[in-house]
Chains A and B, each alone.
Chain A
Amino acid sequence: MFDFVQMLVSGIASGSAYALMGLAMVIIYKTSKIPNFAQGEMALAPSFFAYMLIDSYHLPFYIACILTFGFSVFLGCMIEIIVLRKAQKSNVLGMIIITIGLEMILLGFVSWKFGAEPKSMPFPISPYDSIPMKDLIKGTDLIIGTLELFTFTIALILMIIIFLFFKFTKFGIAMKATQQNQVIARAMGINTRRIQMMTWAISSFVGCIAGLLVSSITLHPYMMWDPMLKGFSAAVLGGMASLPGSIIGAYIIGILESLFGGYISIEFKSVVSLMIIVVVLCIKPSGLFARHYIKKV
């Protein structure tokens, strides 16, 4: 029982990082219809940017974080303006290739600038801090990692902000309109180009938070591959166009993966997410939470 709860907790923590990566992908997918394979590296670059600020420029952690948020927003806007806006006439496959290209460029740049060996981010909470929970469940001494709790809390807050933003602000609603029918949104006076740009900015920001959270455990050029893959899996699981769907998908993957690792095999832990996807897509090809809208022809 004790082991089970412990695994659940760590599954929820890693699920939180996946959820943020999944959200970041879905936000872009909904407005641009592009699965953004550069998402992981768009989170990687800001993490290393923060590391550089702290390590080379000796800025305090929190100030470095705030500057990094700004950097991630800037990066998102730039990628949209310089690359994707120009390429908009190309088809979806072309766009996918472009995002893969971007991914390699960012990865190459980070590897070249910082080297491949792991670094350690001077994160204020270390992976070894923990909060003992005596008798939370009768007769057990559950130990919750402070970092796990922190990751979960930050992810939760961010999700709530995103939800409120999309539901209640002028920009969020304009974004919904753009997602549903871009031509008409434009005819209604919505500057859809600006919406696209801000979509990339927001997504990049969400990814950046995920990157920073992951970097607290490990900081090296390939650190985002796993979270990115799981986030993408979660997004697909959720139907690719559903924000809550991708979050639920991410927690399903995080928890199942953790349980699988604990009870069956640590080596094959990472395979779980892909197995889940294969199974789900066989049973329900549109994902668990896709809304179906069949256009009359």
Chain B
Amino acid sequence: MSFFKVENISISFGGVKALNEIAFEVNKGEIFSIIGPNGSGKTTLFNCISGIYKPTNGKILFNESNIMGKNPHNIAKLGIARTFQNIELFPYMNTMENLMIGRHIYMKTGIFRAAFMLGRKSFAAKEESFHREKVEEIMELLDLQSFRNRFVGGLPYGVQKRIELGRALALEPKILLLDEPCAGMTSDEKEDMIFLVQDILEILGVTILLIEHDMKVVMDISNRILAINFGSPIVIGKPQVVQNHPEVLKAYLGEE
């Protein structure tokens, strides 16, 4: 019984193979990383998993059922959430509202501020406060409380990255796809983010797929790593194995 498995998926853009027969398996509760030079297809792989792109062949199995070809919103509902390489927040909403969007799939009535319209004891009011509490818990974990009512646009980069992470967590995912969560951060912020990722795994029990360029970070926190180059897999294995693999060294040195 495998938890999450990708079977030989491929996708091309205008004749260029962005992914070529990628296959791997992820165990429940691990941090599985994907590395590769710029343009090697890492983000494309995430886009395929989350349903934004449709691979031309292969299978993506989550709890033994094929999710390939499903629409993004259905995949999110199944419990696969993600963050984006370039911060993608809802610019005209504050932090709280951004995180509340992550609760969308759990809302039944969804009549907000229901307490004020329908009375405190109504089902809608209880539901709303339940979701607000959930979001508060996440904000506490990510240390976002002080930004609760601030519009997200003007907040520092590192904070925006955490808000995006929080919004994905609000979906209560089983698998979390993190596309370069540390990109563009100062070394302090980076360190905080690494601890956060580990907390998410330990406290919330979320399995994590991680794309990260910082080799030190990747080698430190990953259980296993998949290296790809030009859309094709090079090697899958434990950090030490991948780190010393000749083709990985070549791909990275060749790039520089």
Contact = CB atoms under 8 A, between A and B. Distances in A.
Interface of A: 167-171, 173-174, 176-177, 180-181, 183-193, 291, 293
Interface string B3-40: 00000000000000000000000000000000000000
B204 interface: no
- Residue from the set A183, A186, A293 with the largest chain B CB neighbour count within 10 Å: A186
Contacts of B111: 168-170
A41 B153 CA distance: 39
Nearest to B97: A173
B117 A168 contact: yes
Interface stretch (B86-94, B192-200, B213-221, B238-246): B86-94
A129 B159 CA distance: 61
B67 interface: no
Given A168-B112, A168-B117, A169-B112, A189 B73 contact: yes
B90 A177 contact: yes
A188 B84 contact: no
A173 B77 contact: no
B167 interface: yes
Interface string B115-159: 001000000000000000000000000000000000001000000
B107 A181 contact: no
Interface of B: 50, 52, 71-73, 76-77, 81-82, 84, 88-93, 97, 100-102, 104-105, 107, 109-114, 117, 153, 167, 171
Contacts of A189: 73, 76-77, 104-105, 171
Nearest to A194: B73
Given A170-B110, A174-B104, A191-B73, A184 B84 contact: yes
Contacts of B114: 168
Given A188-B104, A189-B73, A173 B110 contact: yes
Contacts of A176: 90, 92-93
B104 A190 contact: yes
Nearest to A164: B117
B102 A188 contact: yes
Given A173-B112, A174-B101, 18 more contacts: A167-B112, A169-B111, A169-B112, A170-B109, A173-B97, A173-B104, A173-B110, A177-B93, A181-B90, A183-B88, A184-B84, A186-B52, A187-B72, A188-B73, A188-B81, A188-B102, A188-B104, A190-B73
B102 A180 contact: no
A253 B27 CA distance: 63
A289 to B, nearest CB: 13
Q: What are the 10 closest A-B residue pairs judged by CB atoms, nearest first? A: A170-B110, A189-B76, A189-B105, A186-B72, A180-B90, A168-B112, A184-B88, A170-B107, A191-B73, A189-B73
A148 B139 CA distance: 51
A181 to B, nearest CB: 6
- Residue from the set B71, B72, B97 with the largest chain A CB neighbour count within 10 Å: B72
